[in-house]
Structure 1
Amino acid sequence: MNAQEFLRPKSSAATHAVDLLAVLSDAASVEAVKSLIVDQAISHARAQIGSIDDAIRLLQVLERPPRQLLVDVSGSTMPLSDLERLAEVCAPSVAVVVIGDRNDVGLFRSLLEIGIQDYLVKPLTVELVQRALSARDPSAQARTGKVISLVGARGGIGVTTIAVSLARHLADETQRQVAYVDLDLHGGAGNSMLGLRTNNGLTGLLEDTRAIDPQSIVGALVPAGDRLFVLSSELPYDAEFALRPGAISELINTLKRRFHYVLLDLPGRGGHSVTEALDASQVVCIVADPSVHAARECVRLLRFAEDRTGEPVVSVLLNNPLEPVADRVQPKDFQRALGRSVLHELPYDPKSLARAENLGEPVAGRKKQPGFAAAIERIANGLTGRESSAAPLPWHARLMTPRRTP
């Protein structure tokens, strides 16, 4: 069966549950994998002839990513570049085994450095493939997406505007899979900014007493594009919601195995949901405006976030949602009050933001020129490591882990 036949399955179930997917360039290699599938009675497995481009197309139509993937770079003049393209559609949790026809130690080392599980040289045998699939490096289990929380020092200072803009930028510019989660269960502004209606998928997941699994996640997500997906809810104003302990952590752990980036838009006040979200985050961005109250609350939030068990990298984003006037706190005075520097300052850009919010469009503006869109690009570059090319970027997310500011 070739890739085109696979893309036109007889039933939609054919694209739903594939735990092992092998797309190899020659019949002998495919037969070796098929023999392993039969010998080991591996369910939900598929092996077929195809190229790395076919593997990319198949990953795009699968309802959930496979647990293990075998791809063939035989004959490729630029295998690392081909695998870069594969990374754009491949979930962080997938264990990738690369098949090739070059017994090249340098290539093998380069593949290991970018997070590939193993590299096998043809001809393939059942035993060779079995060892590669069963000897998964325990460290590969940790290759999950980056969890980024955004929380405001006070209300109305643009947390959701920044979060939505950042989610859009990461999905469109880095070509990675992004989940945006609006944790305001009674209805945040994220959906209107994205031009969507909520399906109440978030509370549906959180109120289910069963474990959150990838299949239930798929049904709860609302697509906002090819790579951006939204989880949200809009409970009635008078509705109470009993959040079971550990539900937020469980949700985040499931999402980060599927997405390269998980952006959490946190409500303004604390509680169990905020605490669990911060505990599960690698990066916490505290959004403040240049005011005395925001500075005071920012100090409290900094202390609270930096004491979390996950030891996230915590930074401050200084937004200017209102027109600058003489009596506002100056950035240098704000930083002096915090006792630390501000990572990024976002400018007052009312025209671009008003149009984007009301039309559900990305923030307009030339990203390389001063403005809100340019500030979002700088924040995204800091998260992805694009602002520095000194070190090789990891396999899936190409994420930088910034150092904690003293």
Structure 2
Amino acid sequence: MAAPVVALKTGMLFDTDEQDRDPFGAYIADDAAAAAAQAVARLRGWSTGSIRKGGLPTALRLLGVAPPPRFLILDIEGLPIEEVEAGLTEIARLGTAIIALGAINDVNHFRRIVRAGARDYIVKPVDADALGEALVRLEQPGDAANPAGRLVGFIGARGGVGVTTLAVNAAWIMAEKLSRRTALVDMDLYAGNIALALDIEPTRGLREAFDDPERVDEVFLQNAMAKFGKSLHVLATEEDFDDAVRMTDDKVLMLADTMRANFDMTILDVPRHFVMREPQLFSRFDELVIVAELTLQALRDCNRLTKLLQARNRQMKIQIVANQTTSKPDVSVKEFETGIDGKLRCVFPHDPKTFAAAGIKGRALAGHKPKHRIVADLHRFCIELAGVPEEPRQGFFRRLGKR
């Protein structure tokens, strides 16, 4: 017989500021589900110390004396549904988003769990992919039926700094490691390199999207985009240089909005001339990554781009990264950061041989050499770009460990 669910202690006051909470916690009874939760936590840069043995009764006992995490996985297998409903309702009142795990595959059971306060219910056995996708739904802003995806642009301070390489690898990490349904769009219709880098056939989808933007919907995107790997969708074309494509701000904005509505993450590889030709696009980005080299010219152009684009979209977060960095750059990291009056988010070393080997195989470096230093640094950066909640400096479970 299952142990009765214990009620939460009442009268407890918690500091529930989002910055003070752990982003994630789990109370799981079986080893397979616990291993899946640990894998998801590691990929998102979260502590695995917040994953505990036990289910809903353990959570009720411990959360009565601790502030709840933002996202909570609860094992409810083997408990009577009435006790599950009572326990979920109590925990949901603490302001945490709950994913319940159980063994009953029944729609009425699912509805009762959701009505009690869970945001999602997953039937066991569960793996890291299923848990990761469920967490993505909770991490996205908007309501559960219409979550809002994130739009991130990659642009070069100058030409030849490896923008496409970073955009391709960031998109691959978003899709394969962070469980995001990801769109990768090469906005250079004539000389873009994304299709070439991934060894996929370019399509006419982007051209058709600009020719008839009213057609662009979920069905159009499914047919127009090339699928790469688990959940990466690529929109890239190679139009003839003498074939003029009519692009306007309205058409570009419609494409950006449709991407946001249909994907968890959209990464746009943006040519620099868009700054002048399609300026309204930059009003849509959640974040913009400016890729530079450590040279005086790149320093100048970073400052010019940042000043202009901040004026166009004050809500957009601009990140500057240095790429293809040699051991003796023209401008040191310290000098560059002084020049931009800020910090470089990442400094990626120059490793043309490794990137060339990945390109020959038609693979992202993140898939070809997942332990490469560039991949590790980019993975951490992608966690931030994806909007994954950060670990607080001293979470509750770590504070418990110090007592």
Length-normalised TM-score, structure 1: 0.62
Following superposition, the deviation at residue 121 of structure 1 comes to: 8.8
Which residue matches 2:332? 330
Letter paired with 2:217: D
Which residue matches 1:373? 375
Letter paired with 1:105: T
Identity of matched residues, %: 24
Following superposition, the deviation at residue 182 of structure 1 comes to: 0.5
Which residue matches 1:64? none
Q: Distance in 1 between matches of 2:308 and 2:317?
A: 12
1:146-157 alignment to 2 at 5 Å? 146-157=150-161
Aligned-partner SS, 2:214: coil
Q: 1:150–1:286: 8 Å Cα contact kept in structure 2?
A: yes
Q: Deviations over 1:201-228 (max 9, x none)?
A: 1111111052532222222111012200
Aligned-partner SS, 1:185: coil
Length, aligned pairs only: 285
Q: Distance in 1 between matches of 2:84 and 2:377?
A: 45
**1:200 and 1:324, CA in 2 relative to 1: closer, same or farther beyond 3 A?**
farther
Following superposition, the deviation at residue 100 of structure 1 comes to: 10
Q: Deviations over 1:301-347 (max 9, x none)?
A: 101221224620111011126x4446x11111111111211111111
Which residue matches 1:237? 241
Following superposition, the deviation at residue 197 of structure 1 comes to: 1.1
Which residue matches 1:195? 199
Q: Distance in 2 between matches of 1:226 and 1:375?
A: 22
**1:222 and 1:139, CA in 2 relative to 1: closer, same or farther beyond 3 A?**
closer
Higher relative contact order (CA 8 A, sep 6+): 2
Q: Distance in 2 between matches of 1:357 and 1:278?
A: 29
Which residue matches 2:268? 264
Following superposition, the deviation at residue 354 of structure 1 comes to: 1.3
Which residue matches 2:6? none
The one of 250, 253, 276 equivalent to 1:246 is: 250
Deviation larger for 375-384 or 106-115: 106-115
Which residue matches 1:163? 167
Aligned-partner SS, 1:314: strand
**1:332 and 1:221, CA in 2 relative to 1: closer, same or farther beyond 3 A?**
same
Aligned-partner SS, 1:257: helix
Q: 1:179–1:230: 8 Å Cα contact kept in structure 2?
A: yes
Matched, 1:102 2:85: yes
Following superposition, the deviation at residue 234 of structure 1 comes to: 1.0
The one of 350, 358, 363 equivalent to 1:348 is: 350
Which residue matches 1:359? 361
Q: Deviations over 1:266-296 (max 9, x none)?
A: 0122356642332111011100001111111
Length-normalised TM-score, structure 2: 0.63
Q: After TM superposition, what 4+ stretches of structure 1 lie above 6 angstroms from structure 2?
A: 76-79, 120-125
Q: 1:194–1:360: 8 Å Cα contact kept in structure 2?
A: yes
Following superposition, the deviation at residue 375 of structure 1 comes to: 2.2
Which consecutive residues of structure 1, in runs of 5 or more, have no partner in the other structure?
Answer: 1-75, 84-98, 129-137, 392-406
Matched, 1:298 2:302: yes
Q: 1:149–1:277: 8 Å Cα contact kept in structure 2?
A: no
Aligned-partner SS, 2:240: coil
Letter paired with 1:341: K
Which residue matches 2:14? none
1:6-405 alignment to 2 at 5 Å? 81=73, 102-103=85-86, 104-109=88-93, 113=97, 139-140=142-143, 143-210=147-214, 212-271=216-275, 274-309=278-313, 311-320=315-324, 323-325=326-328, 328-363=330-365, 364-365=368-369, 367=371, 371-384=373-386, 388-390=390-392
Letter paired with 1:162: L
Q: Deviations over 1:122-162 (max 9, x none)?
A: 7979xx9xxxxxxxxx9527731111101000000000000
Following superposition, the deviation at residue 300 of structure 1 comes to: 0.9
